[in-house]
Structure 1
Amino acid sequence: MAQTKKQKALATKLGDNMKHYGVAEAIQLLRDLKTTKFDETVEVALNLGVDPRHADQMVRGMVTLPSGTGKDVKVAVFARGDKAEAALAAGADKVGAEDLMEDMQAGNLDYGRVIATPDMMGVVGRLGKVLGPKGLMPNPKLGTVTPNVAEAVKAAKGGQVEFRVEKAGIIHSGIGKLSFSDEALRANFDAFVDAIVKAKPAGAKGKYLRKVSVSSSMGPGLKIDVAEVHNG
């Protein structure tokens, strides 16, 4: 397919694939490079100096993006009685107990977050092989096993994202949409990177934050100047 004048100009602009950009410059460039009609997600990837095969080098947690994610997160909650009612009132998409477990065992797993009250973990535990591989298993350390399910549902719906380092030492996440303002995307970028820096594990050796890049759903990855982001 022949390139348009705009695409050729942008290809020239990206000619030096070793270049590192400032965050604001990279975000603007992603907008300039956009050729699709849909609202692409802006994603950030961090290469960390950790080996997650070692327990003391695992990086995992939650962070609330101040500008939200731009996505509607479907939330399932395991709870009974008053807690179940509170979860529904807070906006949960599906609430149940054994019935919800059976529904998930049948393959209905179209959720971005699964939350449970502590007393429901006996039921939820039977879904380990189903929820575990999808990263959906409720976890007290992540605040997804909690008596305050209403607060957890609101957090999930309000821009809270989970992060977890992969085998190669990489963490990546969506931080909003290209339609977000520059300020909104920068606020989300800063919040996400700050959360990763604060989650530095005790076993991390040498330089922790090694590489940072941003991209959009259909766009190229742009390297970010790590010195601008963090000095650690």
Structure 2
Amino acid sequence: MAHVGKRVVKAREGIDRIKLYPVDQAVKLVKERASAKFDETVEIAMNLGVDPKHADQMVRGVVNLPNGTGRVLRVAVFARGGKADEARAAGADVVGAEELVAIVQGGTIDFDRCIATPDMMPLVGRLGKVLGPRGMMPNPKVGTVTMDVTSAVKASKGGAVEFRVEKAGIIQGSVGKSSFTDEQLVANIMAFVDAVSKAKPQGAKGTYLQRVAISSTMGPGVKVDTSTVSTGSQG
């Protein structure tokens, strides 16, 4: 049996692992237990009533968190000419075309999120094996293949978070930092859940939003009462 450290034991004190807490109370419990020496990330995990093996039950999208992520992302844009200039003016950290594709193919990925103009996708498509496993491949469904590079860069810098359901029907994502106020975290969580609820696929049967839990990087998970975060569209 694995040894459980004193810090973990102490963090779990006062949390009923079966109880479903209202979202504001869950946030308070998570923040109180974020005792690491760094500003811990607050994460959400959602169990959905879908089977991602079926194409009509895939859940994917993007949400713009109203209070940002608390993290400064490095954004790359694959573009040429005027669109490349537009990307730089919008604050993109890395901009390029063929030369940037070559750099990434060589194993250097000096960015957290990437955007591409549609004309660049035949080139960027070569990077599928590199960017795909990292969840960084540009995709029109989440607004990262677009001619409006200014809006895409600003959204990425301002708190846009992509989500995609995993094999077991679970979606995970960051919703802020432990230094955020309770109100900021609650608003971000509500926005995240709302975006996932609106992305409900037609093939989903039964209860869509089954379980929700939040935690900090080093803290225990706290189960959330789904009725306190649901907009009523989860069915």
- TM-score tier by shorter-chain length is over 0.9
Q: Aligned partners of 1:63 and 1:49: how far apart in 2?
A: 20
Secondary structure in 1 aligned to 2:82?
helix
Q: Which range moves more in the overlay, 133-142 or 49-58?
A: 133-142
Gap change, CA 1:101 and 1:11, over 3 Å in 2: closer
- Are the equivalent residues in 1 in contact too, given 2:77–2:96 (CA < 8 A)? yes
1:141-160 equivalences under 5 Å are: 141-160=141-160
Q: Which amino acid aligns with 1:61?
A: G
Report what 1:13 is aligned to.
14
Q: Aligned partners of 1:119 and 1:12: how far apart in 2?
A: 55
Q: Which amino acid aligns with 2:14?
A: K
1:186-207 Cα shifts (integer Å, max 9, x gaps): 1101100000111100000110
Report what 1:167 is aligned to.
167
1:188-231 Cα shifts (integer Å, max 9, x gaps): 01100000111100000110000000000000011111222225
Q: Aligned partners of 1:225 and 1:141: how far apart in 2?
A: 30
Count of residue correspondences: 229
Shift in Å at residue 109 of structure 1?
Answer: 1.6
Report what 2:63 is aligned to.
63
TM-score (ref. length: structure 2): 0.93
Q: Aligned partners of 1:171 and 1:64: how far apart in 2?
A: 16
Q: Which amino acid aligns with 1:169?
A: G
Q: Aligned partners of 2:151 and 2:13: how far apart in 1?
A: 49
Report what 1:219 is aligned to.
219
Gap change, CA 1:182 and 1:127, over 3 Å in 2: same
Gap change, CA 1:12 and 1:95, over 3 Å in 2: closer
- Are the equivalent residues in 1 in contact too, given 2:115–2:149 (CA < 8 A)? yes
Gap change, CA 1:221 and 1:119, over 3 Å in 2: same
Q: Which range moves more in the overlay, 109-118 or 154-163?
A: 109-118
1:169-200 Cα shifts (integer Å, max 9, x gaps): 00010000011111111110110000011110
1:83-132 Cα shifts (integer Å, max 9, x gaps): 10110111111000110001001111232211111111121111111111
Q: Aligned partners of 2:167 and 2:119: how far apart in 1?
A: 33
Runs of 4+ in structure 1 over 4 Å off: 1-4
Q: Which amino acid aligns with 2:152?
A: A
Report what 1:138 is aligned to.
138
Q: Which amino acid aligns with 1:182?
A: D
Report what 2:207 is aligned to.
207
- Are the equivalent residues in 1 in contact too, given 2:40–2:218 (CA < 8 A)? yes
